[in-house]
Amino acid sequence: MTPVVTQRPRETAGTRASTTGVTERIRNVLSMTRRNLVHISREPMQLSDVTIQPVLFTVLFIYLFGGAIPIPGGSYTAFILAGLLTLNLTTSTMGTAVGLATDLHEGMIDRFRVLPMWRPAVLVGRSLADLLTACLCALVVAATGLAVGWRTSAGLMPIIAGFALVLFFAYSLSWVAACVGLNSKSPESAASFGFIVLFPLAFVSNAMVPTQHMPGWLQAIADWNPVSAVTAGARQLWDNPNPSASISAWPMQHPIEAALAWSALILAVAAPLASRFFQRRTTE
Amino acid sequence: MADAMIEADGLLKSYGETRALAGVSFSVPAGSVLGLLGPNGAGKTTAVRILTTLALPDAGRARVAGIDVVAHPAAVRRQIGVAAQDATLDGLLTGRQNLVLVGELSGMRTGRVRTRAAELLEVFDLASAADRVVKGYSGGMRRRLDLAASLLTRPPVLFLDEPTTGLDPVSRQGVWEVIRELIGSGVTVLLTTQYLDEADALAGRIVVINHGRVIADGTPRELKERSRTAHVEVTLAEPRPEAADVIAPLVSSQVSVSADGLRLGAAVDSAPGLATALVRALDLAGMLADNIEVRQPSLDDVFFALTGARDKEGAQP
């Protein structure tokens, strides 16, 4: 039988360096991303919030509210699609929080911690896997939209840019979710984050309804809500009705710039913070 | 010790108000197996967590393969394999996927990981379950897979934290087999356990810890010799009330009598000719003995003697 281990003491001269090379880091991130994708494939119901929920929301909003909400310059269907995309992608970042909280809750994190790996790969790998599921969500929303009559006259590049704008925002938000997951006592408490933070964030915006009819103070919040900038940006890129264009608040006048700025800012703050929280949570 | 592969020197560690380690020192020479023995909460796992870079000591020094665990944790991680108390596996991956993930994250090339994983799955008798999800594995299978994961990179130093706790006797034997094979291969092993028979069966040297302190250190044989007390059990042919008085002068503790009055037990100082003396005394009193058994001290006796004494001492301010 092959010996299970060898007694040879390991060379220490070259291995004492505590840094991992860039290639090694990328390999670590890819391994972790693949692990998280396997998780999803094992429990497909995890995907319900990026597959079934978008279909449900699209049908509900269009057929329930569609007739009741007049949209200046177009149909509710043309108006709502960008909003539905933002809504679904915003709320689905909850998965990142729950996933990380679960990882910390189970023993697997200790296995990662005794391996000579690049530790942030745990976070980056998860965020990339979540970005891939967000892409799937975007496809489902677009397909459902097309099926119920959403159309765009925009060219291919602006269409892709619109999706990219919302996905970039969702990616930056998933790092906020990571911060929450890393500070949660349990996966369940991480899940409640969605209802307390993400739902108001998604709904107090121009995603579902034009903000013009909201009370003044609420409209001010909605017009500066990053979700509104992202949604208005996608509508502008897709040539869909964008009632916010008549609002004088800066983000509504420059929604694409505002959306990019918000996303970059959130990412720049949340990613290093998540890394710090991870460090703190795994130090004893 | 110059060739010590694992060294702990005055380790102190508290978690909040709880003092987990109150100055623990020991060392493990290259190629040997040390059993770290103690009851639940003695500090065994804390010591292992410090040595495997999972926890930082409040004071003291720890070195693995000559590398300081606090100063160079990443370098230490390249030298060690760890099988933790709660098998640290991903329940949603298959056995093979778990090994491949751990191997890749350890920096092994994908092709080599696959070959090595297949080899270990074979050795650990997991080949037929290799492509099943780990969530469905039995406790014994999980432990074996966890051991396999800790051996992927052929580390020269191995930490096994309570490798058989919670396993049924058959799975326990299986894990012992595997560990015995490792020991033969020259790897340095630190094994923690609450089971004396396990330390006796696998370790060449035993360090007993309790309440975060080392209370004994030696080979299993030395520890047994430290406790001179043996135990005698006499089984009479028929119950005789005065039997206890007859053997009392020969033993060193109070004589316990079973409910049916047939079996008498007591602690004895191992003295030459003890069994003969007992037979003679019983014969003189006109009693018939069916069986006399003098049991040499087991590690259990040593352990309880050591930890019991320590507890009493600790109770005195």
Contacts of B31 in chain A (CB under 8 A): 7
Residues 6+ apart with CB under 8 A from B34: B6, B26, B28, B189, B190, B191, B203, B204, B205, B206, B207
Least confident of A48-52, A241-245, A265-269: A48-52
**What CATH fold (topology level) applies to the domain B4-225?**
Rossmann fold (3.40.50)
* Sheet strand arrangement including B256-257: B256-257, B263-269, B229-236, B289-295
Run means of pLDDT, 10 residues per run, chain B, 317 residues: 84 92 94 90 92 94 95 94 84 95 93 94 91 92 91 93 84 85 86 86 91 89 73 88 87 84 82 83 90 76 64 39
- Shortest distance between the Cα of B283 and any Cα of chain A, in A, equals 59
| A284 contacts B86? CB cut-off 8 A | no
Choose from B11, B79, B85, B90 for mutation: most chain A CBs within 10 A. Answer: B90
Whether residue B78 and residue A116 make contact (CB cut-off 8 A), yes or no, is yes
Measured CA to CA, the distance from residue B26 to residue B7 in angstroms comes to: 6
Q: Which residues of B195-221 are buried (b: 16+ CB within 10 A; e: fewer)?
A: bbebbbebbebbbbbbbbbbbbeeebe
A12/B123 touch (CB, cutoff 8 Å), yes or no:
no
CB B52 within 8 A of CB B58: no
**Can you tell me the distance from the alpha carbon of B214 to that of B38, in angstroms, rounded to the nearest whole number?**
9
Q: Where are the domains of chain B?
A: 4-225, 228-296
User: How far, in Å, are A131, A153, A215, A259 from residue A162 at the CA level?
Assistant: 16, 13, 29, 11
Give per-residue pLDDT as tens, A154-188.
899 999 999 999 999 999 999 999 999 999 888 88
Q: Report how far residue B169's alpha carbon sits from residue B175's, in angstroms, rounded to the nearest whole number.
A: 10
Residue of A nearest to B155 (CA): A5
**Is-contact A259 A173, C-beta < 8 A?**
no
Instruction: Put the strands of the sheet holding B80-83 in their side by side order.
Output: B80-83, B157-161, B188-193, B33-37, B205-210, B213-218
Among A1, A6, A8, A10, most B C-beta atoms within 10 A, so best to mutate, is: A10
List Cβ neighbours of B94 (8 Å cut-off, separation of 6 or more): B130, B131, B132, B133, B134
CB contact under 8 A, B88 and A110: yes
Residue with tokens 């094994």: B191
Task: Report chain A residues touching chain B, CB-CB < 8 A.
Answer: 1-10, 12, 15-20, 24, 27-28, 31-32, 35, 38-39, 42-43, 106-108, 110-117, 121, 283-284
Mutate to test the interface with B, among A18, A45, A111 (most CBs of B within 10 A): A111
Helix (H) or strand (E) holding B243: helix B243-247
Q: What is the residue whose two structure tokens read 């074996």?
A: B144
A282 to chain B: nearest residue by CA? Answer: B54
pLDDT band of A26, cuts 50, 70, 90: very high
Return phi, psi of residue B59, to 5°: -155, 165
Delimit the domains of chain A by residue range. 22-281
Query: What six digits make up the tokens of A174?
Result: 């998933």
CA B68 – CA B11 distance, rounded (Å): 13
Q: Provide ipTM, 2 decimals.
A: 0.83
Judge whether B314 and B307 are in contact, CB under 8 Å. Answer: no
Tens digits of residue pLDDT in A58-88: 888 888 888 788 888 788 889 999 999 999 9
Q: Cβ contact (<8 Å) for B155 and A10?
A: yes
Task: Out of 3.30.450.40, 3.30.70.260, 2.30.30.100, 3.30.70.980, select the CATH number for domain B228-296.
Answer: 3.30.70.260
pLDDT digits (tens, 9 = 90+) for A81-138: 999 999 999 988 888 898 888 888 887 888 999 999 998 999 999 999 999 999 999 9
**Which residue in chain A is spatially nearest to B98 when comparing CA positions?**
A35
d(Cα A209, Cα A39) in Å, to the nearest integer?
Answer: 36
Which residue type, as a one-letter code, is found at position A49?
Answer: D
With contacts defined as CB-CB under 8 Å, which chain A residues touch B93?
Answer: 35, 38-39
pLDDT of residue B300: 66
| DSSP-derived pairing of the beta strands B229-236 and B263-269 | antiparallel
Find chain B residues with C-beta within 8 A of A3's C-beta.
185
Q: What is the mean pLDDT of chain A?
A: 88
Cβ-defined contact of A111 to B84 (cutoff 8 Å): yes
A18 to B72: CB separation less than 8 angstroms, yes or no? yes
Of A174, A54, A75, A74, which Cα lies nearest the Cα of A125?
A: A174
A10, B65: Cβ pair inside 8 Å?
Answer: yes
A131 vs A45: CA distance, rounded Å: 17
Closest CA to A69 of A247, A254, A241, A249: A241
